[in-house]
Structure 1
């Protein structure tokens, strides 16, 4: 196993500890009925957050790709009972894990984001995401490349 494969394997092992937390969240997001204004669930991976919190966040977008909120008692709220941060944790792996690979010149954020995306896609598919009634994508934050979770293609 080369060094890159070793890093990928370790990251995947860290992510797998959250399988039991992610699956019910995805099921609920897929089964939920959304306001008509919500057209897309856009999942974004924030690569710098692996050591601080769960790195994937969901955005509920309207037809103009703007975040949609609902008013509840005059207060803007997300149109889901699921927290947009999906899983409330203190990080996927420790800072020392990240620092070790950064010191070796490995772009740990890119590797972690790619592994995380594949892990997420696998779970999305396993819980019936292909049958989701709306559009759904996943991408690294601020990236022009997205993966269409319904069509299973890169965009």
Structure 2
């Protein structure tokens, strides 16, 4: 039994030395690379999470920028439409004003033309009346002054009248 105890204690020591040697070998050649790869993977995962967070923040920033750009574009569109309406209204009012001025000119020209034609017609009528009056007077005088005695009497009457000029 003693041999077994010795053998067991010797075995225990050998196994302990082998275990410690194995631990040292694993620590130097296996655990350090495993721990390094685990740390490296953890770092990569943290970097990936940080990159994902940055991407998420950048997406939120881009979304807010897009919304701002859309608001600005809508405001600019509204301003352009308002300006276009104002220009249209100004053009329409200018056209109405020009048409009114042209209409007034045409009416004034028509009135002047009417007045000129009226004056010409009145002058023509006066000329015709004058010519008719002369013709009527001539025919009346011819009838009354057929004789020289009537002719002499007319001259005397005219000379007796006071100066008409």
- By percentage of residues, which structure has more strand? 1
TM-score, with length taken from structure 1: 0.16
Which of 1 and 2 has higher RCO (CA within 8 Å, sep 6+)?
Answer: 1
**Over alpha carbons, which structure has the higher Rg?**
2
- By percentage of residues, which structure has more helix? 2
TM-score, with length taken from structure 2: 0.16
